[in-house]
């Protein structure tokens, strides 16, 4: 089955700096890669996702890059703010053609991001 | 947007008793529901995939007789933790993917504490 490795496990940055979290996956059939932010005791919140037909996607301060050949994808957060502090998870799944059916999500181990004011 | 309602949000039960957790899709039909377990400071681990009208598919190492899953309708899936023990204490969360949405929708999670 799919295996997703995520690094680093903890990341501490100063407010305004950039943060990068990296993930690798094992199943070349995976084609949907979401990133989630989870606060303590809460549900994961989707912050950005990318499909395998795209190499990069950006949404304001957040961007994701995907290298299908190397089977890795990364989350980039620029101009970090204290409210960005949380646990971030990458995940991978297989979506059928047409995007009408998605398989199970396999999560990375998570990264605790701390943004110091 | 698509919403999955999960109840209860927290529950404390005695060792040996059973606990039922419900997940309802409020504005879409969830033919498939994914059940995850998350221990403190760990990732979400898939326990099983429930499919409406058929038996659930359990991940390796998950006891199907202990974690009973029922998906009797297109809007309701339940997870029953039977004969709960302290080691079952965890955060349980369900997820579904609405056909019209771009990603997965998660329930709010259930914090189970077995004493």
Residue B105: its H or E element? strand B105-106
Q: Which helix (H) or strand (E) holds B112?
A: strand B110-114
**What is the pLDDT, as a whole number, of residue B90?**
97
Q: Could you say which residues from 43 to 82 on chain A have a Cβ atom under 8 Å away from some Cβ of chain B?
A: 43-44, 46, 49
- Paired with A4 in beta bridges are A25
The 10s digit of each residue's pLDDT in B3-42 is 999 999 999 999 999 999 999 999 888 888 999 999 999 9
Residues 6+ apart with CB under 8 A from A67: A55, A73
pLDDT at residue A103, as a whole number: 83
User: Tens digit of pLDDT per residue, chain A (117 long)?
Assistant: 899 999 999 999 999 999 999 999 999 999 999 999 999 999 999 999 999 888 999 999 999 999 999 999 999 999 999 999 999 999 999 876 555 556 889 999 999 999 999
Total beta-carbon pairs less than 8 A apart between chain A and chain B: 41
Q: What is the mean pLDDT of chain B?
A: 93
Return d(Cα B10, Cα B71) in angstroms, integer.
21
DSSP state of B86: G
């Amino acid at each position: 089955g799919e295996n997703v490795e995520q690094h680093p496990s903890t990341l501490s940055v100063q407010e305004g700096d950039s943060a990068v979290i990296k993930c690798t996956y094992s199943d070349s059939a995976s084609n949907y890669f979401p990133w989630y932010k989870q606060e303590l005791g809460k549900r994961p919140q989707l912050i950005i996702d990318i499909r395998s037909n795209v190499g990069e996607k950006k949404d304001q301060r957040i961007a994701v890059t995907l290298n299908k050949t190397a089977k890795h994808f990364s989350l980039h957060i620029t101009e970090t703010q204290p409210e960005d502090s949380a646990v971030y998870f990458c995940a991978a799944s297989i979506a059928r053609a047409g995007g009408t059916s998605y398989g199970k999500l396999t999560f990375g181990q998570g990264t605790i991001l701390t943004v110091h004011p | 947007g698509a919403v999955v309602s999960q109840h209860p949000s927290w529950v404390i039960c005695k060792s040996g008793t059973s606990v039922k957790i419900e997940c309802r899709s409020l504005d879409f039909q969830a033919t498939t529901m994914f059940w995850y377990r998350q221990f403190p400071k760990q990732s979400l681990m898939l326990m099983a995939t429930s499919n409406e009208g058929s038996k659930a598919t359990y991940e390796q190492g998950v006891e199907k007789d202990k974690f009973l899953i029922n998906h009797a309708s297109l809007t309701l899936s339940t997870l029953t933790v039977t004969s709960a023990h302290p080691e079952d204490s965890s955060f349980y969360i369900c997820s579904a993917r609405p056909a019209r949405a771009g990603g997965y929708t998660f329930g709010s999670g259930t914090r189970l504490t077995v004493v």
